[in-house]
Structure 1
Amino acid sequence: MNVSEPIVRRKLSDEVFLRLKRLIVSGELQPGDEMPSERELMERFGVGRPAIREAMQALANMGLVAISHGERAKVLQLTAQSIFRQVDVAAKIMLSSSADSLEHLKSARIFFERGMVRDAAAKATEDDVAQLRATLDEQRSHLGNAEAFIAADMRFHSQIATISGNPIYVAVSEAMLGWLKEYHTDMLIWTGKEKFTLTEHEEIIERIAAHDPEGAEQAMIRHLERSRALYSIAAPQP
Protein backbone atom coordinates (compact mmCIF):
# COMPACT_ATOMS: atom_id res chain seq x y z
CA MET A 1 0.00 0.00 0.00
CA ASN A 2 1.20 3.49 -0.84
CA VAL A 3 1.59 5.34 2.48
CA SER A 4 0.99 8.64 0.68
CA GLU A 5 -2.49 7.61 -0.50
CA PRO A 6 -5.20 9.85 0.94
CA ILE A 7 -7.31 8.39 3.73
CA VAL A 8 -10.86 7.91 2.52
CA ARG A 9 -13.54 8.60 5.09
CA ARG A 10 -16.25 5.94 4.94
CA LYS A 11 -19.92 6.70 5.33
CA LEU A 12 -21.23 5.58 8.70
CA SER A 13 -23.57 3.12 7.00
CA ASP A 14 -20.63 1.57 5.10
CA GLU A 15 -18.74 1.03 8.34
CA VAL A 16 -21.82 -0.50 9.99
CA PHE A 17 -22.29 -2.74 6.93
CA LEU A 18 -18.71 -4.03 7.16
CA ARG A 19 -19.06 -4.79 10.87
CA LEU A 20 -22.37 -6.59 10.43
CA LYS A 21 -21.03 -8.57 7.47
CA ARG A 22 -18.07 -9.59 9.62
CA LEU A 23 -20.47 -11.03 12.22
CA ILE A 24 -22.02 -13.23 9.52
CA VAL A 25 -18.79 -14.22 7.78
CA SER A 26 -17.11 -15.12 11.09
CA GLY A 27 -20.01 -17.38 12.05
CA GLU A 28 -20.94 -15.35 15.10
CA LEU A 29 -24.35 -15.03 13.46
CA GLN A 30 -25.58 -18.24 11.82
CA PRO A 31 -28.26 -18.81 9.14
CA GLY A 32 -31.65 -18.49 10.81
CA ASP A 33 -30.36 -16.24 13.62
CA GLU A 34 -32.05 -12.92 14.18
CA MET A 35 -29.95 -9.82 13.76
CA PRO A 36 -29.67 -7.55 16.81
CA SER A 37 -32.42 -4.92 17.04
CA GLU A 38 -31.91 -1.47 15.57
CA ARG A 39 -31.70 -0.02 19.08
CA GLU A 40 -29.06 -2.55 20.12
CA LEU A 41 -26.99 -1.78 17.05
CA MET A 42 -27.35 1.97 17.51
CA GLU A 43 -26.00 1.67 21.05
CA ARG A 44 -23.30 -0.83 20.07
CA PHE A 45 -21.90 1.25 17.21
CA GLY A 46 -22.83 4.71 18.40
CA VAL A 47 -24.68 5.67 15.22
CA GLY A 48 -28.18 6.75 14.30
CA ARG A 49 -31.06 4.71 12.94
CA PRO A 50 -30.58 5.79 9.26
CA ALA A 51 -27.04 4.33 9.18
CA ILE A 52 -28.31 1.04 10.63
CA ARG A 53 -31.19 0.78 8.17
CA GLU A 54 -29.02 1.62 5.18
CA ALA A 55 -26.45 -1.00 6.20
CA MET A 56 -29.17 -3.60 6.78
CA GLN A 57 -30.67 -2.90 3.36
CA ALA A 58 -27.25 -3.39 1.78
CA LEU A 59 -26.99 -6.79 3.48
CA ALA A 60 -30.45 -7.68 2.18
CA ASN A 61 -29.50 -6.61 -1.35
CA MET A 62 -26.58 -9.05 -1.18
CA GLY A 63 -28.90 -11.85 -0.08
CA LEU A 64 -27.26 -12.14 3.35
CA VAL A 65 -30.32 -11.23 5.41
CA ALA A 66 -34.10 -11.14 4.99
CA ILE A 67 -35.96 -8.08 6.19
CA SER A 68 -39.62 -8.38 7.21
CA HIS A 69 -41.75 -5.44 8.31
CA GLY A 70 -42.22 -5.39 12.07
CA GLU A 71 -39.71 -8.20 12.68
CA ARG A 72 -35.97 -8.43 13.16
CA ALA A 73 -33.91 -9.21 10.08
CA LYS A 74 -32.77 -12.84 9.84
CA VAL A 75 -29.52 -14.24 8.51
CA LEU A 76 -30.12 -16.29 5.36
CA GLN A 77 -28.61 -19.60 4.35
CA LEU A 78 -26.55 -18.94 1.24
CA THR A 79 -27.10 -21.44 -1.57
CA ALA A 80 -26.05 -21.59 -5.19
CA GLN A 81 -29.64 -20.68 -6.15
CA SER A 82 -29.75 -17.66 -3.86
CA ILE A 83 -26.44 -16.39 -5.24
CA PHE A 84 -27.67 -16.61 -8.83
CA ARG A 85 -30.89 -14.83 -7.85
CA GLN A 86 -28.81 -11.84 -6.83
CA VAL A 87 -27.68 -11.34 -10.44
CA ASP A 88 -31.00 -12.29 -12.03
CA VAL A 89 -32.19 -8.78 -12.89
CA ALA A 90 -28.78 -7.63 -14.13
CA ALA A 91 -28.45 -10.73 -16.33
CA LYS A 92 -31.85 -10.11 -17.93
CA ILE A 93 -30.99 -6.47 -18.62
CA MET A 94 -27.70 -7.53 -20.23
CA LEU A 95 -29.49 -10.05 -22.44
CA SER A 96 -32.20 -7.59 -23.49
CA SER A 97 -29.62 -5.04 -24.59
CA SER A 98 -27.59 -7.29 -26.86
CA ALA A 99 -28.49 -10.00 -29.36
CA ASP A 100 -24.90 -11.23 -29.11
CA SER A 101 -25.32 -11.82 -25.36
CA LEU A 102 -28.38 -13.97 -25.99
CA GLU A 103 -26.52 -16.03 -28.59
CA HIS A 104 -23.61 -16.44 -26.17
CA LEU A 105 -26.02 -17.69 -23.50
CA LYS A 106 -27.53 -20.23 -25.90
CA SER A 107 -24.05 -21.52 -26.76
CA ALA A 108 -23.04 -21.65 -23.10
CA ARG A 109 -26.15 -23.63 -22.29
CA ILE A 110 -25.37 -26.22 -24.97
CA PHE A 111 -21.78 -26.52 -23.72
CA PHE A 112 -23.04 -26.96 -20.15
CA GLU A 113 -25.91 -29.36 -20.83
CA ARG A 114 -23.94 -31.71 -23.05
CA GLY A 115 -21.59 -32.41 -20.14
CA MET A 116 -24.42 -32.49 -17.62
CA VAL A 117 -26.40 -35.11 -19.54
CA ARG A 118 -23.30 -37.31 -19.85
CA ASP A 119 -23.02 -37.20 -16.07
CA ALA A 120 -26.71 -38.05 -15.74
CA ALA A 121 -26.35 -41.02 -18.09
CA ALA A 122 -23.52 -42.38 -15.94
CA LYS A 123 -25.29 -41.89 -12.60
CA ALA A 124 -29.05 -42.20 -13.21
CA THR A 125 -31.01 -44.66 -11.10
CA GLU A 126 -34.29 -46.31 -12.07
CA ASP A 127 -36.10 -43.74 -9.93
CA ASP A 128 -34.33 -40.89 -11.75
CA VAL A 129 -35.44 -42.27 -15.11
CA ALA A 130 -38.99 -42.78 -13.82
CA GLN A 131 -39.15 -39.13 -12.74
CA LEU A 132 -37.97 -37.99 -16.16
CA ARG A 133 -40.62 -40.15 -17.83
CA ALA A 134 -43.31 -38.72 -15.50
CA THR A 135 -42.29 -35.19 -16.43
CA LEU A 136 -42.38 -36.08 -20.12
CA ASP A 137 -45.91 -37.49 -19.67
CA GLU A 138 -46.92 -34.28 -17.91
CA GLN A 139 -45.42 -32.18 -20.68
CA ARG A 140 -47.31 -34.24 -23.27
CA SER A 141 -50.54 -33.58 -21.38
CA HIS A 142 -49.96 -29.83 -21.71
CA LEU A 143 -50.06 -29.72 -25.51
CA GLY A 144 -52.03 -26.59 -26.34
CA ASN A 145 -50.99 -24.80 -23.13
CA ALA A 146 -47.73 -23.02 -23.91
CA GLU A 147 -47.03 -21.76 -20.39
CA ALA A 148 -47.51 -25.17 -18.73
CA PHE A 149 -45.66 -26.94 -21.54
CA ILE A 150 -42.61 -24.67 -21.17
CA ALA A 151 -42.69 -25.01 -17.37
CA ALA A 152 -42.56 -28.81 -17.72
CA ASP A 153 -39.75 -28.42 -20.27
CA MET A 154 -37.69 -26.41 -17.79
CA ARG A 155 -38.38 -28.94 -15.05
CA PHE A 156 -37.18 -31.77 -17.33
CA HIS A 157 -33.80 -30.11 -17.80
CA SER A 158 -33.52 -29.23 -14.10
CA GLN A 159 -34.18 -32.88 -13.21
CA ILE A 160 -31.28 -33.94 -15.42
CA ALA A 161 -29.09 -31.49 -13.52
CA THR A 162 -30.32 -32.87 -10.20
CA ILE A 163 -29.20 -36.42 -11.11
CA SER A 164 -25.59 -35.26 -10.82
CA GLY A 165 -26.03 -34.61 -7.09
CA ASN A 166 -24.20 -31.30 -7.58
CA PRO A 167 -26.28 -28.31 -6.38
CA ILE A 168 -24.22 -25.90 -8.48
CA TYR A 169 -25.27 -27.77 -11.64
CA VAL A 170 -28.88 -27.36 -10.59
CA ALA A 171 -28.46 -23.64 -9.86
CA VAL A 172 -26.69 -22.97 -13.16
CA SER A 173 -29.34 -24.92 -15.08
CA GLU A 174 -32.23 -23.12 -13.41
CA ALA A 175 -30.59 -19.71 -13.91
CA MET A 176 -29.96 -20.26 -17.63
CA LEU A 177 -33.47 -21.61 -18.17
CA GLY A 178 -35.01 -18.69 -16.30
CA TRP A 179 -33.05 -16.13 -18.34
CA LEU A 180 -33.89 -17.83 -21.62
CA LYS A 181 -37.59 -18.09 -20.78
CA GLU A 182 -37.85 -14.31 -21.15
CA TYR A 183 -37.10 -14.77 -24.85
CA HIS A 184 -39.17 -17.82 -25.69
CA THR A 185 -41.25 -17.16 -28.79
CA ASP A 186 -45.02 -17.06 -28.47
CA MET A 187 -45.34 -19.18 -31.63
CA LEU A 188 -44.19 -22.45 -30.07
CA ILE A 189 -47.62 -23.93 -29.60
CA TRP A 190 -48.85 -22.99 -33.09
CA THR A 191 -45.98 -24.26 -35.18
CA GLY A 192 -45.91 -27.92 -34.18
CA LYS A 193 -42.43 -27.60 -32.74
CA GLU A 194 -43.66 -28.85 -29.37
CA LYS A 195 -43.96 -32.34 -30.88
CA PHE A 196 -40.29 -32.25 -31.87
CA THR A 197 -39.49 -31.34 -28.28
CA LEU A 198 -41.38 -34.34 -26.93
CA THR A 199 -39.66 -36.74 -29.33
CA GLU A 200 -36.24 -35.30 -28.49
CA HIS A 201 -36.87 -35.47 -24.75
CA GLU A 202 -37.92 -39.10 -25.14
CA GLU A 203 -34.68 -39.93 -26.96
CA ILE A 204 -32.64 -38.21 -24.24
CA ILE A 205 -34.41 -40.27 -21.58
CA GLU A 206 -33.76 -43.51 -23.50
CA ARG A 207 -30.04 -42.75 -23.74
CA ILE A 208 -29.89 -41.89 -20.02
CA ALA A 209 -31.78 -45.08 -19.14
CA ALA A 210 -29.32 -47.08 -21.25
CA HIS A 211 -26.39 -45.45 -19.40
CA ASP A 212 -25.07 -44.24 -22.74
CA PRO A 213 -23.21 -40.94 -22.12
CA GLU A 214 -22.17 -40.51 -25.75
CA GLY A 215 -25.66 -41.14 -27.08
CA ALA A 216 -27.22 -38.89 -24.43
CA GLU A 217 -24.82 -36.08 -25.31
CA GLN A 218 -25.56 -36.31 -29.02
CA ALA A 219 -29.32 -36.41 -28.36
CA MET A 220 -29.04 -33.31 -26.17
CA ILE A 221 -26.97 -31.44 -28.76
CA ARG A 222 -29.53 -32.21 -31.49
CA HIS A 223 -32.33 -31.06 -29.22
CA LEU A 224 -30.73 -27.78 -28.15
CA GLU A 225 -29.35 -26.89 -31.59
CA ARG A 226 -32.79 -27.40 -33.10
CA SER A 227 -34.62 -25.48 -30.37
CA ARG A 228 -32.21 -22.54 -30.03
CA ALA A 229 -34.13 -20.67 -32.74
CA LEU A 230 -37.17 -20.63 -30.42
CA TYR A 231 -35.44 -17.98 -28.31
CA SER A 232 -35.38 -14.54 -29.88
CA ILE A 233 -34.48 -11.11 -28.55
CA ALA A 234 -37.05 -9.64 -30.92
CA ALA A 235 -39.95 -10.90 -28.82
CA PRO A 236 -39.15 -10.89 -25.09
CA GLN A 237 -41.90 -11.81 -22.67
CA PRO A 238 -43.29 -8.80 -20.72
Structure 2
Amino acid sequence: MTSELVEMIVTGEIAEGELLPPEAPLSEHFGVSRTVIRESVKRLEEKGLVVVTQGRGTQVSRSGSWNMLDPIILSALIDNDESLGILDELTIVRGHLESAMAGSVAARHTPEELERITHVLDTMRAMQQESDASRQEDVVFHLTIMEISGNRLAENIAKRLYRRALESNRYQGAGYQGAFESTIEEHTRVVEAIGRNDVEGAERAMRDHIVSSWQRRRLADPTAG
Protein backbone atom coordinates (compact mmCIF):
# COMPACT_ATOMS: atom_id res chain seq x y z
CA MET A 1 0.00 0.00 0.00
CA THR A 2 2.70 2.48 1.03
CA SER A 3 4.92 1.35 -1.85
CA GLU A 4 2.13 1.91 -4.35
CA LEU A 5 1.56 5.45 -3.11
CA VAL A 6 5.30 6.14 -3.14
CA GLU A 7 5.49 5.02 -6.76
CA MET A 8 2.50 7.20 -7.72
CA ILE A 9 4.30 10.22 -6.26
CA VAL A 10 7.78 9.41 -7.58
CA THR A 11 6.49 8.82 -11.11
CA GLY A 12 4.52 12.08 -11.03
CA GLU A 13 1.14 10.40 -11.26
CA ILE A 14 0.41 12.59 -8.26
CA ALA A 15 2.61 15.61 -8.91
CA GLU A 16 4.52 17.82 -6.48
CA GLY A 17 2.14 20.34 -4.95
CA GLU A 18 -0.96 18.31 -5.71
CA LEU A 19 -3.29 16.95 -3.04
CA LEU A 20 -3.69 13.24 -2.50
CA PRO A 21 -7.25 12.03 -3.14
CA PRO A 22 -9.41 11.84 0.02
CA GLU A 23 -9.41 8.70 2.16
CA ALA A 24 -12.65 7.30 0.75
CA PRO A 25 -11.57 7.21 -2.94
CA LEU A 26 -8.13 5.86 -1.98
CA SER A 27 -9.74 3.20 0.19
CA GLU A 28 -11.96 2.13 -2.68
CA HIS A 29 -9.15 2.27 -5.25
CA PHE A 30 -6.80 0.04 -3.23
CA GLY A 31 -9.48 -2.10 -1.64
CA VAL A 32 -8.33 -1.43 1.91
CA SER A 33 -9.81 0.22 4.98
CA ARG A 34 -9.49 3.91 5.78
CA THR A 35 -7.34 2.92 8.75
CA VAL A 36 -4.80 1.37 6.35
CA ILE A 37 -4.91 4.52 4.21
CA ARG A 38 -4.26 6.72 7.25
CA GLU A 39 -1.32 4.57 8.32
CA SER A 40 0.14 4.68 4.81
CA VAL A 41 -0.21 8.46 4.63
CA LYS A 42 1.57 8.67 7.98
CA ARG A 43 4.44 6.63 6.50
CA LEU A 44 4.56 8.99 3.51
CA GLU A 45 4.76 11.95 5.86
CA GLU A 46 7.64 10.35 7.78
CA LYS A 47 9.49 9.88 4.48
CA GLY A 48 9.06 13.57 3.62
CA LEU A 49 6.84 12.85 0.62
CA VAL A 50 3.75 14.68 1.85
CA VAL A 51 2.63 17.37 4.25
CA VAL A 52 -0.66 16.90 6.08
CA THR A 53 -2.49 20.14 6.84
CA GLN A 54 -5.64 20.23 8.93
CA GLY A 55 -8.58 21.42 6.84
CA ARG A 56 -6.63 21.37 3.58
CA GLY A 57 -5.62 17.78 3.03
CA THR A 58 -2.43 15.92 2.17
CA GLN A 59 -0.13 17.71 -0.26
CA VAL A 60 2.81 16.16 -2.09
CA SER A 61 6.06 17.83 -1.05
CA ARG A 62 8.84 19.13 -3.28
CA SER A 63 11.22 16.35 -4.26
CA GLY A 64 14.00 18.17 -2.42
CA SER A 65 12.20 17.33 0.83
CA TRP A 66 11.92 13.60 0.14
CA ASN A 67 14.13 11.20 2.09
CA MET A 68 15.80 9.78 -0.98
CA LEU A 69 17.92 7.38 1.08
CA ASP A 70 14.74 5.65 2.21
CA PRO A 71 14.86 2.19 0.57
CA ILE A 72 11.32 2.38 -0.82
CA ILE A 73 11.81 5.85 -2.30
CA LEU A 74 15.28 5.07 -3.69
CA SER A 75 14.02 1.87 -5.28
CA ALA A 76 11.03 3.62 -6.84
CA LEU A 77 13.28 6.38 -8.21
CA ILE A 78 15.74 3.94 -9.77
CA ASP A 79 13.14 1.46 -11.04
CA ASN A 80 11.23 4.22 -12.83
CA ASP A 81 14.31 6.10 -14.06
CA GLU A 82 13.86 5.68 -17.82
CA SER A 83 16.02 8.72 -18.60
CA LEU A 84 18.80 7.54 -16.23
CA GLY A 85 18.74 10.98 -14.62
CA ILE A 86 18.61 9.67 -11.05
CA LEU A 87 21.51 7.31 -11.79
CA ASP A 88 23.51 10.24 -13.16
CA GLU A 89 22.83 12.11 -9.90
CA LEU A 90 23.61 9.02 -7.82
CA THR A 91 26.95 8.61 -9.59
CA ILE A 92 27.95 12.22 -8.91
CA VAL A 93 27.08 11.94 -5.21
CA ARG A 94 28.75 8.56 -4.88
CA GLY A 95 31.83 9.88 -6.68
CA HIS A 96 32.22 12.77 -4.26
CA LEU A 97 31.66 10.60 -1.19
CA GLU A 98 34.09 7.88 -2.23
CA SER A 99 36.57 10.50 -3.38
CA ALA A 100 36.58 12.02 0.10
CA MET A 101 36.99 8.58 1.69
CA ALA A 102 39.87 7.65 -0.61
CA GLY A 103 41.54 10.94 0.34
CA SER A 104 41.13 10.12 4.03
CA VAL A 105 42.76 6.73 3.50
CA ALA A 106 45.64 8.36 1.61
CA ALA A 107 46.15 10.79 4.46
CA ARG A 108 46.22 8.14 7.16
CA HIS A 109 46.51 4.39 6.88
CA THR A 110 48.55 1.57 8.35
CA PRO A 111 50.76 -0.76 6.30
CA GLU A 112 48.27 -3.53 7.04
CA GLU A 113 45.39 -1.46 5.68
CA LEU A 114 47.28 -0.68 2.49
CA GLU A 115 48.03 -4.38 2.15
CA ARG A 116 44.30 -5.17 2.45
CA ILE A 117 43.48 -2.82 -0.41
CA THR A 118 46.39 -4.06 -2.54
CA HIS A 119 45.36 -7.67 -1.94
CA VAL A 120 41.86 -7.03 -3.31
CA LEU A 121 43.33 -5.38 -6.40
CA ASP A 122 45.81 -8.23 -6.90
CA THR A 123 43.01 -10.79 -6.56
CA MET A 124 40.98 -9.00 -9.17
CA ARG A 125 43.98 -8.58 -11.49
CA ALA A 126 44.73 -12.32 -11.28
CA MET A 127 41.31 -13.08 -12.79
CA GLN A 128 42.56 -11.57 -16.07
CA GLN A 129 39.09 -10.96 -17.50
CA GLU A 130 35.72 -9.57 -16.53
CA SER A 131 33.48 -12.10 -14.80
CA ASP A 132 30.96 -12.29 -11.97
CA ALA A 133 33.87 -12.95 -9.61
CA SER A 134 35.87 -9.95 -10.83
CA ARG A 135 32.81 -7.71 -10.53
CA GLN A 136 32.35 -8.92 -6.97
CA GLU A 137 35.98 -8.09 -6.18
CA ASP A 138 35.36 -4.66 -7.71
CA VAL A 139 32.61 -4.12 -5.12
CA VAL A 140 34.89 -5.42 -2.33
CA PHE A 141 37.58 -2.93 -3.41
CA HIS A 142 35.23 0.02 -2.95
CA LEU A 143 33.75 -1.28 0.31
CA THR A 144 37.24 -1.88 1.74
CA ILE A 145 38.32 1.72 1.12
CA MET A 146 35.04 2.98 2.61
CA GLU A 147 35.60 0.94 5.77
CA ILE A 148 39.24 1.93 6.20
CA SER A 149 38.40 5.62 5.76
CA GLY A 150 36.69 5.69 9.17
CA ASN A 151 34.08 8.14 7.85
CA ARG A 152 31.00 6.30 9.08
CA LEU A 153 28.46 8.75 7.70
CA ALA A 154 29.97 8.84 4.21
CA GLU A 155 30.35 5.05 4.28
CA ASN A 156 26.72 4.53 5.29
CA ILE A 157 25.32 6.84 2.60
CA ALA A 158 27.65 5.60 -0.16
CA LYS A 159 26.87 1.95 0.63
CA ARG A 160 23.12 2.56 0.44
CA LEU A 161 23.48 4.25 -2.94
CA TYR A 162 26.01 1.80 -4.33
CA ARG A 163 24.30 -1.42 -3.28
CA ARG A 164 20.89 -0.31 -4.51
CA ALA A 165 22.34 0.87 -7.81
CA LEU A 166 24.04 -2.50 -8.31
CA GLU A 167 20.61 -4.16 -8.25
CA SER A 168 19.55 -2.15 -11.30
CA ASN A 169 20.10 -3.52 -14.80
CA ARG A 170 20.18 0.07 -16.00
CA TYR A 171 23.15 0.79 -13.70
CA GLN A 172 24.97 -2.29 -15.01
CA GLY A 173 24.47 -0.63 -18.38
CA ALA A 174 26.04 -1.72 -21.63
CA GLY A 175 29.17 -3.81 -21.90
CA TYR A 176 32.14 -2.20 -23.61
CA GLN A 177 35.47 -3.38 -24.94
CA GLY A 178 38.32 -3.16 -22.44
CA ALA A 179 36.04 -2.82 -19.41
CA PHE A 180 38.17 -5.11 -17.22
CA GLU A 181 41.45 -3.48 -18.23
CA SER A 182 40.05 0.01 -17.61
CA THR A 183 38.82 -0.95 -14.16
CA ILE A 184 42.18 -2.47 -13.20
CA GLU A 185 44.07 0.57 -14.48
CA GLU A 186 41.82 3.02 -12.62
CA HIS A 187 41.88 0.99 -9.39
CA THR A 188 45.67 0.89 -9.65
CA ARG A 189 45.82 4.69 -9.81
CA VAL A 190 43.76 4.89 -6.62
CA VAL A 191 46.00 2.41 -4.79
CA GLU A 192 49.21 4.08 -5.96
CA ALA A 193 47.99 7.49 -4.80
CA ILE A 194 47.03 6.04 -1.42
CA GLY A 195 50.42 4.33 -1.16
CA ARG A 196 52.30 7.60 -1.65
CA ASN A 197 49.96 9.50 0.71
CA ASP A 198 48.76 11.67 -2.17
CA VAL A 199 45.41 12.92 -0.86
CA GLU A 200 44.45 14.98 -3.91
CA GLY A 201 45.61 12.26 -6.26
CA ALA A 202 43.57 9.59 -4.48
CA GLU A 203 40.49 11.83 -4.47
CA ARG A 204 40.84 12.61 -8.15
CA ALA A 205 41.57 9.00 -9.16
CA MET A 206 38.54 7.65 -7.29
CA ARG A 207 36.15 10.31 -8.53
CA ASP A 208 37.35 9.98 -12.13
CA HIS A 209 37.02 6.20 -11.96
CA ILE A 210 33.44 6.21 -10.68
CA VAL A 211 32.19 8.90 -13.06
CA SER A 212 34.03 7.74 -16.18
CA SER A 213 33.15 4.06 -15.75
CA TRP A 214 29.46 5.00 -15.49
CA GLN A 215 29.73 7.15 -18.61
CA ARG A 216 31.25 4.23 -20.50
CA ARG A 217 28.50 1.84 -19.35
CA ARG A 218 25.66 4.33 -19.72
CA LEU A 219 23.20 3.54 -22.49
CA ALA A 220 23.21 6.28 -25.09
CA ASP A 221 19.44 5.93 -25.53
CA PRO A 222 18.01 4.19 -22.42
CA THR A 223 14.45 4.38 -23.76
CA ALA A 224 15.25 2.58 -26.98
CA GLY A 225 13.83 -0.89 -27.42
TM-score, normalised via structure 1 length: 0.57
2:77 to 94, 116, 123: 94
Change (3 A) 1:180 1:230: farther
Q: Distance in 2 between matches of 1:185 and 1:141?
A: 24
Describe how 1:18-37 pairs up with structure 2 within 5 A.
none
1:155 to 132, 140, 144: 140
Distance apart, 1:130 and its partner CA: 0.4
Bigger-Rg structure (1/2) = 1
Letter in 2 for 1:107: I
SS in 2 for 1:211: coil
Partner of 1:177: 162
Distance apart, 1:92 and its partner CA: 2.3
Partner of 2:98: 113
8 Å CA contact retained: 1:158, 1:173: no
Distance apart, 1:184 and its partner CA: 0.9
Kindly provide the CA deviation profile for residues 39-84 of structure 1, in whole angstroms up to 9, marking residues without a partner as x: xxxxxxxxxxxxxxxx9xxxxxxxxxxxxxxxxxxxxxxxxxxxx9
8 Å CA contact retained: 1:117, 1:220: yes
Distance apart, 1:106 and its partner CA: 0.9
8 Å CA contact retained: 2:174, 2:218: no
Kindly provide the CA deviation profile for residues 195-235 of structure 1, in whole angstroms up to 9, marking residues without a partner as x: 01101111111111111101111212321232122454777
2:199 to 199, 206, 213: 213
Distance apart, 1:87 and its partner CA: 3.1
1:199 to 173, 176, 185: 185
Q: Distance in 2 between matches of 1:205 and 1:173?
A: 19
Q: Distance in 2 between matches of 1:230 and 1:150?
A: 16
Distance apart, 1:89 and its partner CA: 4.3
Number of corresponding residues: 155
Letter in 2 for 1:103: D
8 Å CA contact retained: 2:106, 2:202: yes
Change (3 A) 1:145 1:194: closer
8 Å CA contact retained: 2:75, 2:164: yes
SS in 2 for 1:187: coil
Partner of 2:152: 167
Distance apart, 1:170 and its partner CA: 2.5
Change (3 A) 1:184 1:143: farther
Change (3 A) 1:218 1:150: same
What is the root-mean-square deviation of aligned Cα atoms in Å?
A: 2.9
Q: Which shifted more, 112-121 or 141-150? A: 141-150
Q: Distance in 1 between matches of 2:75 and 2:132?
A: 19
Kindly provide the CA deviation profile for residues 88-107 of structure 1, in whole angstroms up to 9, marking residues without a partner as x: 34312211212211111111
Partner of 1:17: none
Partner of 1:187: 175
Letter in 2 for 1:95: I
Q: Distance in 2 between matches of 1:95 and 1:232?
A: 14
Q: Distance in 2 between matches of 1:187 and 1:167?
A: 33
8 Å CA contact retained: 2:129, 2:180: no
8 Å CA contact retained: 1:119, 1:213: yes
Q: Distance in 2 between matches of 1:143 and 1:222?
A: 23
Q: Distance in 1 between matches of 2:157 and 2:149?
A: 13
8 Å CA contact retained: 1:120, 1:164: yes
Change (3 A) 1:150 1:88: farther
